Amino acid sequence: MRCLLEGLDCANCAAKIEKELNKIPGLENAKVNFATKSIDLPEEMLTVAQEIITRIEPEVKLKKERGAGEKEEKENLLPLWVSGLLFVIGVIYHEQLHQTAYSLLEYAVLLTAYFLVGWPVITRAVRNLIRGEVFDENFLMTLATAGAIAIHQLPEAVGVMLFYAVGEYFQDKAVNNSRRSIKALLAIQPAYANLKENGTTRRVRPEEVAVGETIVVKPGERVPLDGEVIAGESFVDTSALTGESTPRKMEAGATILAGMVNGGGLLTVKVTKPYAESSVARILNLVEKSAERKAPTEQFITVFARYYTPIVVGAALLLAVLPPLLLPGASFKAWLARALVLLVISCPCALVISIPLGYFGGIGGASRHGILIKGANFLDALAASHTVVFDKTGTLTKGVFRVTEVVPRNGFSKEEVLAAAAGAEVYSNHPIAHSLREAYGRAIPVDSVRDYQEIPAHGISAVVEGRQVLAGNDRLMHREAIAHEDCEVQGTIVYVAIDREYAGYIVISDELKEDAKQTVQELKTLGVQKVYMLTGDDATVAARVADELQVDGFYAELLPEDKVTRLEELMAGLPNRKTQKLAFVGDGVNDAPVITRADIGVAMGGLGSDAAIEAADVVLMEDAPSKLVLAIKTARQTKRIVRQNIYLALGIKAFFILLGVFGVATIWEAVFADVGVTILAVFNASRTLRAGEKG
């Protein structure tokens, strides 16, 4: 059961919740998705899960339906504004308030401001302390500000807690913006379907429509389910699925997918898949789960924060105690103030918030362009692309074949050769088979074809109208010992033998995709060292395509298992397997084994393809090679921003820690080193939403 974690606004808290849930029998595989604030749980474990979550984060509640997050955000701003106003009054009139009896007004104004924004932090710190979780940001903030109050630095204490709250507010805003980029995909989720029954239509939920039933899609409506158009003609907007705004024409016989938006015509559609298996449902599920796969950098930061914070707290304790004991004339109050500075600076918020935010911002930004990346780990792998290997047919070429020449031999006519080949290919779904049947142009009675047999990587054997026909490549002729004089013909050739006598050959032409050559050039510009092409096609055809594209090498006439072998050889040849990765790009159907084996499997033109979405690590929904360039740019920019945040946070914190130890930095500088750096890192991480859009 899908549940929402209302109030979950911290990636670190999400990790804690997941860790504790996984300790419970029956919840070992529970995954908290911070990007969508969701978790899948067995219904019978909901109560147990809520008890565990309450112990860790009492503010987080399990909900089966969406809550009113916007209302909560507005309500939470009131204490922030009131506290800020009191803080300003306390700082401006500090001396006057301090001069009152027992400094009562000073305490009244500044402690009120302190507790307005600090109470949630203090209560969380106490609860965590009771559970033995000492070293978190709540404990650090509480300890540092309590120490400041103890040495009568009230404005500093309020300032730390107030700016910490402001920092958390901006973190939440940035997190919500990144979430919106992913949740924007939910807009493609259709709200209803117009079910056609007995000549009338009625609105129902898409989940209620069964396969085989008929729906009507009116102009301007979103297509609710995958199906086949049986009546009507219109143009549909596919941008929600592919990231491209070019309309696509729909007419009778065309396949239409859930999530598309109908243009100006009325379409009648026969449903071919239930909603749970529709394109839109699979895409939403894929994007939601992408945040569950952590990048190595995220995993490192989690471990780093676990050790970093206790070390700094220990150092602060030593700094407060040892110098007054060892140095003559050293003031305990002065060294305690330095220790408090160290405590404020030590909070790892900038890292534990901005790093996950950066990654799922990159994933969300890519999804807006029709690039579905299954996890942050694949973003890192894409960024490290050293070698890219392309399939040829349907990936670099259009895969739309047409017959350009029929050459008969041994007394056969062109019509006989073409009719025999088209008949033999009557059951095949291969693009070449479609081109042969289209060129023949006449209906082929299915009962005229028998003993049909596909010979992998060779061709077809069948009996057509009582005559045995062999139709395939040159290897098929040699395999069947058919004497023929046309072994060296250039191009994609279908050789035909009738009753074991060579009847001639048919020339088939394919075209390069418009952006194929540009893609290879841009990959080289990006720093991809090698670009290869693998194909089962004839070597002469492959050589011509490879030369036109200027790839670094190609392998032709490969069986499916040969492609895997060649890919493994290329992977073994990478200079550094740890830091350099190989990406394979295929059509996602025939190339599933190779896509699965590569470091990064990329399925191109995966719109509506089950095999693409299942096998690939990255799915390019638009059938364009250039999308790979955008995917790599997005991955590299995301990784660059994540690294910037790591260097920014650690560098500034280290600098101010040194200043604090030597007494140069005060708590105000410490606030900047913590909250200021966190806000800068969060805003920087938010740039990943636009990753890949520029250079």
Q: What are the pLDDT digits (tens) for 276-332?
A: 888 777 766 666 666 566 667 777 776 776 777 788 788 888 988 899 888 888 888
**Quick one: average pLDDT of 630-634?**
93
By residue range, what is the domain housing residue 529?
Answer: 371-396+513-621
Residues 178, 327 within the same domain: yes
Give mean pLDDT, residues 199-228: 92
Most distant pair of Cα atoms in the chain: their distance? 120
The answer on 431 and 478 residing in a single domain is: yes
What DSSP assignment string belongs to 248-259?
Answer: EEE-TT-EE-TT
| Domain boundary pick from 237, 254, 273 | 273
**115 band by pLDDT with thresholds 50, 70 and 90:** very high
> Are 525 and 616 in a shared domain?
yes
Residue 250 predicted with pLDDT over 70: yes
Strand partners, 193: 204
The answer to the question of residue 348 being in a domain is: no
Cβ atoms of residues 566 and 536 within 8 Å: no
Q: Are 18 and 30 in contact (CB under 8 A)?
A: yes
Give me the mean pLDDT over the 372-383 stretch: 87
Instruction: Select from 487, 509, 531 the last residue of a domain.
Output: 509
Give the 3-state secondary structure of residue 682.
Answer: helix
88 versus 357: which is more confidently predicted? 88
Asked if the structure places residue 239 within a domain, the reply is: yes
Q: What is the pTM of this model?
A: 0.69
Q: Strand pairing partners for 368?
A: none
Q: Say if residue 529's pLDDT is above 60.
A: yes
Q: Which residues of 205-233 are buried (b: 16+ CB within 10 A; e: fewer)?
A: ebeebeeebbbbbeeebbbbbbbebeebe
Same domain, 106 and 161: yes
Q: Are both 517 and 611 inside the same structural domain?
A: yes
Is 227 among the domain residues? yes
To 5 degrees, how large is the angle CA 514–CA 368–CA 351? 125
Average pLDDT score over the chain: 83
More confident residue, 348 or 571: 571
Q: Examine residue 293 and state whether it is found in any structural domain, yes or no.
A: no
- Residue 63 pLDDT: 76
Place of tokens 């950098």: 297
Within-domain flag for 312: no
Q: Are residues 491 and 421 in the same domain?
A: yes
CATH label of the domain that carries residue 62: 3.30.70.100
Of residues 394 and 425, more confidence is placed in 425
Distance, CA of 596 to CA of 621 (rounded, Å): 18
Q: Which residues in 566-649 belong to E strands, given as ranges?
A: 581-586, 600-604, 618-620
User: What was the pLDDT predicted at 67?
Assistant: 38
Q: Would you state the pLDDT for residue 580?
A: 93
Percent of the chain having pLDDT more than 90?
A: 29
CA distance 572 to 598: 11
Burial of 685 from C-beta contacts in 10 A (0-12 / 13-18 / 19+): buried
Helix (H, G, I), strand (E, B) or coil at 17: helix
**C-alpha span between 684 and 640 (Å, rounded):** 11
Q: In this structure, what CATH number is given to the domain that contains residue 498?
A: 3.40.1110.10
Tell whether 520 and 657 lie within a shared domain. Answer: no
135-144, 254-263, 397-406, 429-438: range with lowest mean pLDDT = 135-144
**pLDDT of 434 above 60:** yes
The answer to whether residues 325 and 467 belong to one domain is no
Stretch 663-682: mean pLDDT: 79
Residues 382 and 522 in one domain: yes
DSSP state letters, 522-552: HHHHHT--EEEEE-SS-HHHHHHHHHHHT-S
Q: Given a cut of 50, is residue 74 above it in pLDDT?
A: no
pLDDT beyond 80 at 50 = yes
Assign residue 554 the CATH number of its domain.
Answer: 3.40.50.1000
Instruction: Show contacts of 91-96: CB within 8 Å, 24+ apart.
Output: 91/155, 94/155
484-522 confidence digits (pLDDT tens) = 988 877 777 899 999 999 999 998 877 888 899 999 999
Query: What pLDDT shows up at residue 506?
Result: 93
Kindly report the CA angle at 655 between 650 and 659, in degrees rounded to 5?
Answer: 145
413, 410, 466, 471: which is closest to 437 by C-alpha? 471
53: in domain: yes
Whether 389 and 526 map to the same domain: the answer is: yes
What local confidence, expressed as pLDDT, does residue 51 receive?
84
Counting every residue written for the chain, the total comes to 695
What proportion of the chain, given as a percentage, has pLDDT over 70?
A: 88
Question: Which residues, in sequence order, are CB contacts of 372 under 8 Å at separation 6+?
Answer: 283, 286, 287, 290, 366, 606, 613, 618, 619, 621
CA distance 399 to 57: 54
Residue 72 has pLDDT above 50, yes or no: no
Task: Give the model's pLDDT for residue 89.
Answer: 92
pLDDT tens per residue across span 150-195: 888 888 888 888 887 887 777 677 666 655 655 555 556 677 899 9
Q: And the tokens for 359?
A: 């990654």
CB distance 374 to 290 below 8 Å: yes
Alpha helix ranges (H) inside 93-215? 94-98, 104-130, 137-150, 154-183
Last residue of a domain, one of 20, 39, 67: 67
Contact 672, 156 (CB under 8 A): no
Q: Tell me the C-alpha to C-alpha distance, in Å, between residue 394 and each of 243, 391, 452, 508, 623.
A: 20, 8, 25, 15, 9
595 lies in a domain?
yes
Q: Is 537 in the active site? A: no
Who's near 183: CB < 8 A, 6+ residues apart?
Answer: 36
Average pLDDT over residues 442-453: 89
- Which DSSP letter does residue 223 get? P
Highest mean pLDDT among 117-131, 206-220, 664-678: 206-220
Looking at the domain assignment, is residue 278 inside a domain? no
Neighbour order of strands in the sheet with 2-6: 32-33, 38-40, 2-6, 61-63
Same domain? For 433 and 445 the reply is yes
- In tens, the pLDDT along 15-42 reads 778 888 888 888 888 888 765 677 878 8
Query: What does the pLDDT read at residue 116?
Result: 92
| pLDDT value for 69 | 39
Q: Tell me: the pLDDT tens digits for 227-248?
A: 999 999 999 987 766 656 567 8
What CA–CA distance (Å, rounded) separates 147 from 395? 65
d(CA 334, CA 268): 80
Q: In whole angstroms, give the CA distance from residue 81 to residue 317.
A: 34
Q: What pLDDT score was predicted for residue 500?
A: 93
pLDDT tens digits, 350-371: 677 778 778 877 887 787 788 8
| 315 closest CA partner among 574, 660, 78, 688 | 660
Given this model, what pLDDT does residue 582 score?
96
Which residue among the candidates 136, 226, 237, 391 is catalytic per the annotation? 391
Q: Are residues 384 and 522 in the same domain?
A: yes
Number of domains making up the chain: 5
Q: Which of 33, 47, 313 is nearest to 175 (CA)?
A: 33
Give the pLDDT score at 611: 63
Start-end of H helices in 384-452 = 414-424, 431-440
Q: Distance between CA 34 and CA 12 in Å, rounded?
A: 9
The two three-digit tokens of residue 600, written as one number: 């990064």
Tokens found for residue 332: 């305990």
